[in-house]
Structure 1
Amino acid sequence: MNIELFIATRKEKGYSQKELAQGICTQATLSRLENNGQIPTLKILIQLCNRLELPLGELFPKVGTQNTQLRELLNQGEFYLITSEYESLRTLLEQLDLVEVTQAGLLLQYYYLLGFEMIFRQAPVTDVLFTFDKLLAEEHQHPQEIYQLLGYTGIGLVYLRESDLNKAEYYFNQVLERVYQYPTNTIEEVWKVLNMVFHCGLFYGEQKDYESSDGLFQYVFSLCAKNHVTYYLARAVFQLAQNALQAGQEKSRVLELLQDARAYAKVNDNQRLLKQINAQMQELTSTN
């Protein structure tokens, strides 16, 4: 209860404790409310508030409002992640109060987003791994398997960046063993599963295992289509084009995939990816 607001309103209205309590309760009851937070019966509290013309609801925090606002901000951060707006993600995370995030029970989502943001800004390896260690430790205390798998995905990306392929493969395999069974009942779950499958596809493409990589990107495509999510479509099809190019497929096939990727990127206004696609298409069409 917001006792400070109650007292401030009483003083603003010009009531002494004795005057406000008159005919409703004893002054001692009102004093215990203001000094010790000892709330009288609801009937008395309503009468006091009515005399002050203070809506009762103003004295109590709106249940879940702070949590909802923080969750919406973190979901916005997740949207920045899937649309490759990493600078916006970093700005958003820097503005959050970690104490509030902890109290709201949202540390898992926070560490997951922070770890991926650190990967894409090339933060030191030890710092990134420490962030994912905190994610896994928090997940151990508050089990949510999806965040464990996201942590493994992030660690796999770190080792891939460091060209430690054996370690990277270990973590990506941990993800692939379980990610297909994970439910996608909400849009946020879809985003998380897409994130994992997409980056597993990137890994196997880097290893020139194009069959596995293509299969994963096709799974991304089907997930997007099934759940009416377009943001990963352009990236998935673009990576299929990279696989086709590296595997020595016909130029016409690569260009076809790039044209599809460009169409999806335009729909999503993914300017960063559009620049990559246009540059590659120009390069391919200018060579014999």
Structure 2
Amino acid sequence: MEGYLDTFGNVLKAIRKERKLTQKMLSQDICSQSVLSRIENGEELPNVLVMQQLCQRLGVTMDQVMVYNSVNVKETDILLESMAYHFGKKEYEKLDELLQRPGLINQLYLDTDIQLYFYYAGSCEFFLHGNCEKALSLLKQGLSYTFKLDKMHVSKEEVQLISCIGKVYGDMGNLEEAEQYLKKSIYLFYRLPNQRGSAELTKIFYNYASFLYQKEQYTLANEQIDCGIHLARQKNSFYYLEELFLLKSRVLHQRKEEQEALTYQQLSAEVKRIANFG
């Protein structure tokens, strides 16, 4: 029984941290925070109802928690970290190679891991292969694994997926759907707990700003760009900073602010140089 307690508690804790939830957020209206702490530390066995409710809030089934214990978690985590690295560096060819590994999808047991698989696959279809229809299908499939309209807590991955779906819709010329998804991603970003914000979310501001720029809504585009730049600087990250600087330069050019436009063009080139050097 002690081994089971350790196993269930450790896995519960690992999934909670993966979801970026605090003990207070997970336990709210289910059990006390102190009870959850004892469960995670293997000091208490939860009753079935509590187990079900905790799993439901985490977006996994009890079976998935049990399976999660028996697989080679470390190997899967290393693979996911490698994919995340290539994705963050926009190395889509290398990412695509990992995604093509035989049986990869069968190595993933958590809904969030499967969601990431479809997120990465959809991104490769869009950026690498230029297949908007397939990209849209994969991105929507990834979102469906965890997202529900009445969810209390959304994840940064869900926000990014919604933004990317909007981006693809925009490239397909479906502007109404594009704007709906892009606006939704910004709205959900501001519902994320502060500690869950991450540098990767600068991309959602770039996506929406690009859409607004294409619609010649330069003031609104500039506001979104500044939000993205602020987040990148707050997180000390170069992720999408080059693109944001370049887009701001174009916005300023449209507004006839040529000197400042040149400054941001130079900043974009400098970020690109530093990122390539790194």
2:162 is equivalent to residue 152 of structure 1: yes
Q: Give 4+ residue runs of structure 1 displaced > 4 Å after superposition.
A: none
> Taking structure 1 as reference, are residues 65 and 267 closer, same or farther at Cα in structure 2, changes over 3 Å only?
farther
Once the 2 structures are TM-superposed, how far is the Cα of residue 85 of structure 1 from its aligned partner? 2.0
AA at the equivalent of 1:226: Q
Q: Deviations over 1:156-200 (max 9, x none)?
A: 1121111221111111111122212323536xx514422222212
Q: Deviations over 1:28-87 (max 9, x none)?
A: xxxxxxxxxxxxxxxxxxxxxxxxxxxxxxxxxxx7983344334334333333333222
Counterparts of 1:64 and 1:265 in 2: how far apart (Å)?
Answer: 43
Counterparts of 1:105 and 1:148 in 2: how far apart (Å)?
Answer: 10
Q: TM-score, normalised by structure 2?
A: 0.64
Counterparts of 2:257 and 2:200 in 1: how far apart (Å)?
Answer: 31
Name the residue aligned to 1:178. 188
Which of residues 111, 116, 127 in structure 2 aligns to 1:109?
Answer: 116
Counterparts of 1:209 and 1:196 in 2: how far apart (Å)?
Answer: 17
Counterparts of 1:74 and 1:118 in 2: how far apart (Å)?
Answer: 18
Q: TM-score, normalised by structure 1?
A: 0.62
Once the 2 structures are TM-superposed, how far is the Cα of residue 123 of structure 1 from its aligned partner? 4.2
Which of residues 253, 262, 276 in structure 2 aligns to 1:269?
Answer: 276
Counterparts of 2:83 and 2:194 in 1: how far apart (Å)?
Answer: 19
Aligned length: 206
Counterpart secondary structure, 1:240: helix
CA RMSD in angstroms, aligned pairs only = 2.8
Counterpart secondary structure, 1:239: helix
> Taking structure 1 as reference, are residues 231 and 258 closer, same or farther at Cα in structure 2, changes over 3 Å only?
same
Counterparts of 1:183 and 1:122 in 2: how far apart (Å)?
Answer: 35
In structure 1, stretches of 5+ residues that fail to align are 1-62, 272-288
> Taking structure 1 as reference, are residues 139 and 226 closer, same or farther at Cα in structure 2, changes over 3 Å only?
same
2:92 is equivalent to residue 82 of structure 1: no
2:76 is equivalent to residue 70 of structure 1: yes
Counterparts of 1:181 and 1:244 in 2: how far apart (Å)?
Answer: 30
**Identity rate of aligned residues, in percent?**
17
> Taking structure 1 as reference, are residues 104 and 161 closer, same or farther at Cα in structure 2, changes over 3 Å only?
closer
AA at the equivalent of 1:245: H
Counterparts of 1:201 and 1:67 in 2: how far apart (Å)?
Answer: 38
Which of residues 135, 144, 161 in structure 2 aligns to 1:137?
Answer: 144
Counterparts of 2:216 and 2:76 in 1: how far apart (Å)?
Answer: 41
Counterpart secondary structure, 1:248: coil
Counterparts of 2:127 and 2:109 in 1: how far apart (Å)?
Answer: 24
Once the 2 structures are TM-superposed, how far is the Cα of residue 105 of structure 1 from its aligned partner? 5.3
Counterparts of 1:218 and 1:239 in 2: how far apart (Å)?
Answer: 11
Name the residue aligned to 2:237. 229
Which of residues 162, 176, 189 in structure 1 aligns to 2:172?
Answer: 162
Which of residues 229, 254, 257 in structure 2 aligns to 1:249?
Answer: 257
2:190 is equivalent to residue 204 of structure 1: no
Name the residue aligned to 1:218. 226
Larger Rg: 1
